[in-house]
Structure 1
Amino acid sequence: MGEFTQRARAATEALREVFPATPLQRNEHLSARYGAEIWLKREDLTPVRSYKLRGAFTAMRKARAADPGQAHFVCASAGNHAQGMAYACRHFGVRGTIFMPVTTPQQKIDKTRMFGGNSVEIRLVGDYFDRTLAAAQDFCGKATARFLSPFDDDDVIEGQASVAVEILDQLPEPPDLVVVPVGGGGLSAGVTGVFAEIAPMTDFRFAEPLGGASLAAAVAAGEPVTLKRVNSFVDGAAVARIGARPFARLKAIRAAQVLAAPEDRICITMLDMLNVEGIVLEPAGALSVDVLPDLADVIRGRRIVCVTSGGNFDFERLPEVKERAQRYAGLKKYFILRMPQRPGALREFLAMLGPDDDIARFEYLKKSARNFGSVLIGIETKSADSFAALIRKMDEAAFSYRDITDDDALAEFLV
């Protein structure tokens, strides 16, 4: 057993003070779909519904062992890391100051406060995370407190490595391939570190959101780089720059091992897991399952472990998830039509719709000074092929229209 694995196993044993090993479950639905033996490492079933508790607890435990007087910890987080640290603060009876963006949903603030109780203070600072992080670090410089990074910390990485220790303990032999979600890189750095020492023949794939592909960018550049833009939908993994310490452990991976998951496709995966399996996953928690179609030829007949990293999903977001899923699957489209201002024009258009086409949005702006009015229309259907028939009919009737489904600027403004 290597030195890193020894530390990871010690972290795993210490974690048993607060929760048992999370289940490693064979998923028959996914196994049948892909012709493989697919197991889910259910990190969505920790006390805080994500793996982040592992790193926060381990770093806090080791800091207090090194300095028993260390009784104040600080972090900046809008989600799972905040909840993990709050839970650890309450367990150790220490003070925690948690900085969160002003824009953090109230549900996440309430859950963080619930886990931390009287042990934590929540401060809302900044509209964007960069401002929140700067405020937290400035606070640490003025107070005798330790900053607890969500991923760029060796002790946090060590705590996340406990996921790998449990996987290897729960299977009779190592898996052929492990799929790990990537945000800041703490989880993937820890898990790969243990497997490199214990089961080096196990292969890896790393799943990150298409709009936050910081690992792919770092692999291409040979060092961490800051993305110019980040899509925040996959909030648990939407990181503009992978951590320096995690990347130092990951820099040998190949570009082909890093897979990008489109945000809208992730929504299809979330709904599939919810409706078929009854498993609630947040967007980041669904990453490892979402990239399985990209691995169909690689995984057939093999034993695969997907780490489902979190289940902190706010069901108020469900309509948005459904909307994104329908649009990605081609089952919902938005058009702007130029409708002739004459009797019967609307009736002609409605006659073009098929039996499974349903109007989900309709806004008609009639202007008396023009011969045409603009219509915003959203249409849902049961088969993506239905839209080909509708578009053909509109073309044949010489209707003037514009498909704005994939126009992000217009869709965000109008839909």
Structure 2
Amino acid sequence: MPEEILRRVLTAPVYDVASETALELAPLLSKRLQNQVWLKREDLQPVFSFKIRGAYNRMVHLSESERKAGVITASAGNHAQGVALSANKMGIDATIVMPRTTPPIKVNAVRRLGGNVVLEGDSFDEASRFAKALEVEKKLTYIHPYDDLDVIAGQGTIALEILRQHSKPFDVIFIPVGGGGLISGIASVIKQVSPSTRIIGIEPEDAASMTEALKAGERIVLDQVGIFADGVAVAQVGEIPFRIAQTCVDEMFTVTTDEICAAVKDIFEDTRAIAEPAGALSVAGMKKFVDKYAVSGLDMACVVSGANMNFDRLRHVSERTEIGEKREALFAVTIRETPGSFKKFCELLGNRRSITEFNYRYSDSKQAVVFVGVRTEGGHAEKQAILNSLHQHTYPVQDMSDNEMAKLHLRYMVGGHAKGVNNELLYRFEFPERPGALLKFLINMSEEWNISLFHYRNHGAAYGRVLIGVQVPPEQQADFEIYLKSLGYPFVNEQENPGYQLFLRPTH
């Protein structure tokens, strides 16, 4: 299989529409990590993503009858733009099915390139099923975003550029993984030309379909897929990419949302360019690789795969960056509700530390719980020093730095415990960002189930994050869980979350 990919790569005419992108040294990252870090700038393509390569390479192989009939694909953004631009250049009609949750910036970009946009479904999988139905109904040709030899070969042209642009083979190359087209294309070429180069794939922790597939020895389907890095939000990797990865990928790493946000900042500081979350995966994984193996003096390349970032998402990215860099820690600390105790607590934190936030509300005459953010320039060691100091001074403290509910909701809504609220259950949801999504949740709810808490923030993503408290009689809680599963929205029970217990749980 890799031999066939290399053969197709060598004849791929991608430069009819794509650019040979720069391979740039990242001086700040290189100095900080004590390795030579190079960025392969696929964010500089005409559609701000590598996807143009594979889409065009597939479409130039269409037969004359297929060109006349037209093509169809399903995509949430980058592949859609690649197909639309290619179709425009070749004079082919292109239908692009996109989820209704797709941000307007991506929908409008596809329309500007001449694509006929059809909005259908709340997810890529729903859009894909609809596209496959239209393919049969209208006798169109489906352009798969990753599970196709010509698409994979188009992405593999990146490897040829990397080999030409650098004076010697890289020690390691880090590549984002969604459906697997990008990593299988690059790995197929690199492993035949420079077998000693390590190929490392990077996925989000909540969308690790390739990682789990390689562990299992077969393709698996994830029950839920996180959508922060929407460019790689794939529940199952492609069949062809999986087979290639089994022999050509050396290792997989997964990264958190916070680590991705920190990588977006790293790329910005070295290039003044803003990568999309999926585009920054390689840098996030590279940092984790360096930390795990304590390596130095290596030549390492990171593929920055795209820059189709909604401007309003930058707020969320900037909020999470400090934690991702281990430069901010979040704590829930219980202090005595007596005169001077608040001042004493602040003095213990130290006047040389920057407090990033403080949330507190009086609720009890004996003790108070404060939600505090502290800048920790010394990383994990400094956070641990703060925890040790608080423990030594007998302060009950919870480290909330890795508590997703706290970071998404609690820090914006601390306001004290509710009084007289019985049988409250707490859930964290992801709702599609479209009209009617909340109504779908409410319309079939039993009138005996009362919403007692609600918090929502729009982060500029396809899905909004919602925290909901609902009063459900004990004998109906099993029915309520069945109802939640029937909605099809990803949800997490946060009943035992320490943030809920400390700040929000009702008192009687």
Q: 1:240 aligns with which of 235, 238, 241?
A: 235
Partner of 2:264 in structure 1? 270
Q: 1:364 aligns with which of 360, 365, 377?
A: 360
Asked if the contact 1:53–1:85 (Cα under 8 Å) also holds between the matched residues in 2, the reply is yes
- Uncovered stretches (5+) of structure 2, i.e. residues with no partner: 412-508
Q: In angstroms, what is the RMSD of aligned CA positions?
A: 3.0
Cα drift, residue 379 of structure 1? 3.8
Within 2, Cα distance between the matches of 1:171 and 1:305? 10
For residues 130-165 of structure 1, what are the alpha-carbon distances to aligned partners after superposition, in whole Å with 9 as ceiling and x for unaligned?
222222222222112222211112221121111122
More RCO (CA 8 Å, sep 6+): 1
- Residue number in structure 2 paired with 1:149: 144
Change (3 A) 1:113 1:335: same
Superposed CA deviations along residues 358-405 of structure 1, whole A, max 9, x for unmatched, are 44444434347x544554443445444655565455445544443333
Q: Match for residue 283 of structure 2?
A: 289
Q: Tell me whether 51-60 or 207-216 shows the greater mean CA deviation.
A: 207-216
Query: Residue 236 of structure 1 aligns to a residue in which SS?
Result: helix
How many angstroms does 1:271 deviate by? 0.9
The residue that corresponds to 2:330 in the other structure is 334
In 2, are the aligned partners of 1:219 and 1:253 still within 8 Å (CA)?
Answer: no
Residue type of the alignment partner of 2:307: G
Amino acid across the alignment from 2:262: I
SS in 2 for 1:74: strand
Is the 1:177–1:305 contact (alpha carbons within 8 Å) kept by the matching residues of 2? yes
1:172-251 correspondence to structure 2 within 5 Å: 172-251=167-246
Asked if the contact 1:70–1:145 (Cα under 8 Å) also holds between the matched residues in 2, the reply is: no
Partners of 2:66 and 2:141 within 8 A in 1: no
SS in 2 for 1:40: strand
How many equivalent pairs are there? 407
Residue 79 of structure 2 is matched in structure 1 by 81
TM-score (norm 2): 0.71
Structure 2: which amino acid aligns with 1:210? E
Residues 406 and 34 from structure 1, CA distance in 2 versus in 1: closer, same or farther, beyond 3 angstroms? closer
Shift of 1:340: 4.7
Q: Is the 8 A contact 1:354 1:390 kept in 2?
A: no
Letter in 1 for 2:21: T
Q: Is the 8 A contact 1:50 1:312 kept in 2?
A: yes
Is 2:342 the partner of 1:346?
Answer: yes
Report how far residue 281 of structure 1 moved.
1.8
What per-residue deviation string (whole Å, max 9, x for no partner) do you get for residues 260-296 of structure 1?
2333222222212212332322222222222334444
Q: 1:70 to 1:154 in 2, by over 3 A?
A: farther
For 1:386 and 1:301, the matched residues in 2 are separated by 27
C-alpha distance in 1 between matches for 2:382 and 2:289 = 29
Q: Which runs of 5+ in 1 are unaligned?
A: none
Task: Name 1:111's counterpart in structure 2.
Answer: 109
* Map of 1:124 onto structure 2: 119
1:77–1:100 contact (8 Å) kept in structure 2? yes
Opposite residue 86 of structure 2, the aligned amino acid is: A
State yes or no: 1:91 paired with 2:89. Answer: yes
In the alignment, does 2:398 pair up with 1:402? yes
Distance 1:217 1:7, change over 3 A: same
Question: Offset at 1:128?
Answer: 2.5
In structure 2, relative to structure 1, the CA distance for the partners of 1:377 and 1:197 (3 Å cut) is closer
Residues 55 and 145 in structure 2, CA contact (< 8 A), matched pair in contact too: yes
AA in 2 matched with 1:260? T
Q: CA deviation at 1:101?
A: 1.9
Distance 1:138 1:351, change over 3 A: same
Distance (Å, rounded) in 2 between the aligned partners of 1:356 and 1:127: 48
Is 242-251 or 27-36 further displaced after alignment?
27-36
Over 3 Å counting, the alpha-carbon distance change for 1:110 and 1:169 in structure 2 is same
Kindly provide the amino acid, as one letter, of the partner of residue 41 in structure 1: K
Percentage of pairs with the same residue: 33
Which residue of structure 2 aligns with residue 57 of structure 1? 56
Report the residue type matching 1:135 in the other structure: F
Deviation string, structure 1 residues 340-364 (Cα, Å, up to 9, x no partner): 5554443443333322444444443
Residues 1:166 and 2:164 are matched in the alignment: no
Which of 350-359 and 187-196 deviates more?
350-359
Task: Report the Cα offset of residue 184 of structure 1.
Answer: 0.8
